């Protein structure tokens, strides 16, 4: 499959800024809480008062190391913080502390799924740890701009991919996969609306085989949908520009989500413009083997491995597994249910998966709930499935039980008891009902016997109705066939 647009190939690399999940900032003890009153989470250090010194938040470093494992990267035993100098009103110190020369993680990669079902490896150049800046607020007043420093100094990881992606689809798959991995690890909430995952996209185009064209950086994209729109717009814009005889010059652009277009922000700075130099107030970060190994031992099972295991252990389809493992908690609950079934996974897992995906998720979506706010323990799903497998109830009756379970949180066996829903297996009971049905519909019975076999469904339905939906469907079919001849 090629990704060419009008004979042009798009080259895409992404820089993802992920806010590290910590309670306090990277170099101070101020809270990282979101949505609080402006400038209520600002220490003297965050406000860059003279003489204040940074103290490194070791937990932020630990999370970055785990993220490094998550992307199959090399954890560097020595990393170092540098000052990146630039002026902006939301940056009171006049520099951002970042890891430029010696990042903590290098040479990683993750696999993404392609539209054709194949896989592609996207290489990741580095993860470095840095501080976030504050926020300028321009829309509160027509006269003034305001600065909120609550975000100033919040720990970020910048995850820089190689320019390995060739379409907006691949870029979206990459961000989704990265987000899933970081959430599994717990290193970042990846809530794009709250800005704790932001994407910068570098986009250029070339004719296949040519050397790389000048790239455009689109800054601070804060939703997956906007990422796709921004990249597609930018590819199209560059093609039109070049084909009309103009040149693309390296610059930074912003995506306007209202107009779905990018527009020029500034010409792109090069590293030299920032006058990077080692921060004299911070020691190098030196990692011991003990620390690295301890963090490695704390790593959760990651999505790719979990997927493989679910394929082997539970015999589910790939697409069902993708739904179940998208969220780590859902995957854990699914397994909890499977393990609590009376039956072996090979018998129960598929049914439990179906009930979770088709019935449970539908209800959760409708009621805008999450799987963590269920009104009953997840093993009830397994109990329901057990009742189906052992033929105490039919799949149809199970839906009635399920509705009750959602409503009042009772265990399925109790609901079956209370509503007397146990399946009628007794052949003589079923047979006597069938005989009654035939007696009451003599004309139809004659027509069936004369060859109008599509009437069979009528007799099944009528029998089931008289058994209040509780008859065993296979037995009804079998006895009907015998009786009608």
Nearer to Mn ion, 158 or 232 (CB): 158
Contacts 24+ apart (CB under 8 A), 245-253: 247/214, 248/204, 248/205, 248/213, 248/214, 248/216, 249/214, 250/214, 250/215, 250/216, 251/216, 251/217, 252/216, 252/217, 252/218, 252/219, 253/216, 253/217, 253/218, 253/219
* Contact string (CB under 5 A) for Mn ion, positions 223-242, x = contact: --------------------
CA 253 to chain centre: 27
Minimum CB separation of residue 128 from Mn ion in Å reads: 8
Binders in 258-317 for Mn ion, by CB under 5 A: none
Residue 125 in contact with Mn ion, rule: CB under 5 A: no
Nearer to Mn ion, 46 or 232 (CB): 46
83 membership: H or E segment, kind and range: strand 82-85
Minimum CB separation of residue 167 from Mn ion in Å reads: 25
Nearer to Mn ion, 44 or 277 (CB): 277
Instruction: Report whether 12 contacts 165 (CB < 8 A).
Output: yes
Nearer to Mn ion, 217 or 232 (CB): 217
Minimum CB separation of residue 25 from Mn ion in Å reads: 16
Nearer to Mn ion, 158 or 462 (CB): 158
Q: What's the rounded Cα separation, in Å, for the pair 66 and 64? A: 5
Residue 453 per-residue DSSP state: G
Nearer to Mn ion, 18 or 316 (CB): 18
The widest CA-to-CA distance across the chain, in whole angstroms, is 101
Minimum CB separation of residue 158 from Mn ion in Å reads: 4
Strand locations in 277-385 (E): 277-278, 285-286
Minimum CB separation of residue 57 from Mn ion in Å reads: 17
Minimum CB separation of residue 48 from Mn ion in Å reads: 18
Minimum CB separation of residue 17 from Mn ion in Å reads: 6
Binders in 154-213 for Mn ion, by CB under 5 A: 158
Nearest to Mn ion by Cβ — which residue? 158
* Contact string (CB under 5 A) for Mn ion, positions 144-163, x = contact: --------------x-----
Angle between helices 303-314 and 345-354 (to 10 degrees): 120
386 membership: H or E segment, kind and range: helix 379-389
- With 0-12 / 13-18 / 19 or more C-beta atoms within 10 angstroms meaning exposed / middle / buried, residue 7 is exposed
Nearer to Mn ion, 132 or 320 (CB): 132
Nearer to Mn ion, 156 or 476 (CB): 156
Minimum CB separation of residue 197 from Mn ion in Å reads: 13
Neighbours of 105 (CB within 10 A): 26
Q: By rule CB under 5 A, what count of residues binds Mn ion? A: 1
Interface contacts to Mn ion, rule CB under 5 A: 158
């Amino acid at each position: 499959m090629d990704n060419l647009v009008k004979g042009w190939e798009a080259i895409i690399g992404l820089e993802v800024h992920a806010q590290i999940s910590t309670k306090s900032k990277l170099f101070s003890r101020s809270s990282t809480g979101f949505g609080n009153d402006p400038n209520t989470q600002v220490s003297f250090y965050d406000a860059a008062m003279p003489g204040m010194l940074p103290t490194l938040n070791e937990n932020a470093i630990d999370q970055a190391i785990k993220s490094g494992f998550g992307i199959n990267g090399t954890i560097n035993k020595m990393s170092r913080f540098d000052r990146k100098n630039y002026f902006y009103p939301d940056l009171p110190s006049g520099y951002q502390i970042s890891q430029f020369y010696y990042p903590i993680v290098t040479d990683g990669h993750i696999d993404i799924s392609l539209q054709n079902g194949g896989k592609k490896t996207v290489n990741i150049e580095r993860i470095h740890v840095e501080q976030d800046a504050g926020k300028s607020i321009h829309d509160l007043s027509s006269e003034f701009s305001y600065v909120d420093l609550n975000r100033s100094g919040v720990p970020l990881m910048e995850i820089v991919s190689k320019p390995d992606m060739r379409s907006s689809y691949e870029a979206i798959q990459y961000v989704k996969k990265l987000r899933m991995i970081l959430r599994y690890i717990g290193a970042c909430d990846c809530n794009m609306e709250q800005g704790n995952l932001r994407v910068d996209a570098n986009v250029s185009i070339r004719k296949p085989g040519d050397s790389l064209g000048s790239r455009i950086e689109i800054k601070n994209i804060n939703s997956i949908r906007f990422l796709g729109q921004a990249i597609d717009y930018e590819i199209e814009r560059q093609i039109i520009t070049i084909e009309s005889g103009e040149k693309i010059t390296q610059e930074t652009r912003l995506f306007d989500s209202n107009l779905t277009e990018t527009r020029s922000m500034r010409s792109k700075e090069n590293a030299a413009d920032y006058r990077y130099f080692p921060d004299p107030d911070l020691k190098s970060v030196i990692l011991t083997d003990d620390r690295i190994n301890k963090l490695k031992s704390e790593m959760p099972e990651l999505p790719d491995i979990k997927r493989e295991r679910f394929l082997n252990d539970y015999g589910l389809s790939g697409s069902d597994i993708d739904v179940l493992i998208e969220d780590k908690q859902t995957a854990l609950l699914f397994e909890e249910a499977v393990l609590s079934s009376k039956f072996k996974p090979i018998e129960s897992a598929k049914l439990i998966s179906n009930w979770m995906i088709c019935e449970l998720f539908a209800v959760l979506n409708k009621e805008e709930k999450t799987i963590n706010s269920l009104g009953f323990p997840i093993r009830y799903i397994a109990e329901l499935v057990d009742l189906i497998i052992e033929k105490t109830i039919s799949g149809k009756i199970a839906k009635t039980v399920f509705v009750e379970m959602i409503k009042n949180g009772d265990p399925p066996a109790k609901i079956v008891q209370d509503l007397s829903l146990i399946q009628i297996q007794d052949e003589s009971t079923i047979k006597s009902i069938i005989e009654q049905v035939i007696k009451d519909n003599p004309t139809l019975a004659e027509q069936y016997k004369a060859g109008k076999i599509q009437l069979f469904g009528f007799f099944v339905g009528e029998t089931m109705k008289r058994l209040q939906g509780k008859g065993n469907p296979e037995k009804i079919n079998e006895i009907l066939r015998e009786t009608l001849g």
